[in-house]
Structure 1
Amino acid sequence: MKLGAMGFFVKNLDVMVKFYRDIMNMKLNIDMEGFAGFVTEDGFFFNLCTRSERVNISSIPISYPKGLNGSMQISFNVQKYEDVDKEYERLVKAGATPVSKPISMPYGLREAYVADPEGNLVEIVASKE
């Protein structure tokens, strides 16, 4: 198997599309009622779907986290260590919620975290040069 897509079930599709399209600079590929699909340069799909569209996918009740969702993240790679700092500042100025300022990790990555409008963690990361 090959991982080909990931997605979020969202409360407010319009707000989330604006965040990922306008702030995260993702290319919107599909835009229809209740669903939006983005595609990366290497063909990975990131989807947003309204929660009401997915209500009937399971016989088990589905719950959603409140506040900051610490159970998962979406990561965006940048080229250089210093780009993590630049992107973090840009994202915070554009309206992303700051979560963790840039830090160099002992395993060779520089990473920072913001949150999208619904509290999902967004990681900005670069490998040591």
Structure 2
Amino acid sequence: PSKNYTSYFLSFGEDKTRIELMHIPDMQNPASRGNLKGLAHFAIAVGNAQTVDTLTERLRADGYTILSEPRTTGDGCYESAVADPEGNYVEITA
């Protein structure tokens, strides 16, 4: 509620592949990560918190920019975030 958005997860098939759709009703011109139009981020579920931590450290060692250290978010997800080579915000989630 404090960030004024809604988020929906669509699950597909037995492997539980998911797509998250977010809606921000008062979106304005993009100014920062928190205020984007179009693609906001990709999220990849890797199974557990230890794998999030391990992949975050591997990406850091490989020279990628870590945008958000591993943490538990306000909605209870354990995740980190990295910039891909094109600067997209990629979440690594448990």
Q: Which runs of 4+ in 1 moved over 2 A?
A: 41-44, 105-108
Q: Structure 1 residues 43 and 100, CA, compared in 2 at 3 Å: closer, same or farther? A: closer
SS of residue matched to 1:117: coil
Matching of residue 102 in structure 1 with residue 70 in structure 2: yes
TM-score normalised by length of structure 2: 0.56
SS of residue matched to 2:41: strand
Q: 2-side partners of 1:43 and 1:90: how far apart?
A: 24
Shift of 1:94: 1.7
Q: Structure 1 residues 43 and 107, CA, compared in 2 at 3 Å: closer, same or farther? A: closer
Q: 2-side partners of 1:107 and 1:43: how far apart?
A: 20
**1:76 paired residue number:** 44
Letter in 1 for 2:53: D
TM-score normalised by length of structure 1: 0.42
Pairs aligned (count): 64
SS of residue matched to 1:82: helix
**1:85 paired residue number:** 53
Residues 97, 117 of structure 1: 8 Å contact kept: no
Identity %: 39
Instruction: Extract unaligned runs of 5+ from structure 2.
Output: 1-9, 19-29
How big is each residue's C-alpha offset from its partner over 1:35-82, in whole Å with a ceiling of 9 and x where there is no partner? xxxxxx9899xxxxxxxxxxxxxxxxxxxx8xxx72311111111111
More helix by share: 1
**2:89 paired residue number:** 121
Flag the structure with larger Rg: 1
Q: CA RMSD in A?
A: 2.7
SS of residue matched to 2:47: coil
More strand by share: 1
Q: Structure 1 residues 85 and 42, CA, compared in 2 at 3 Å: closer, same or farther? A: same
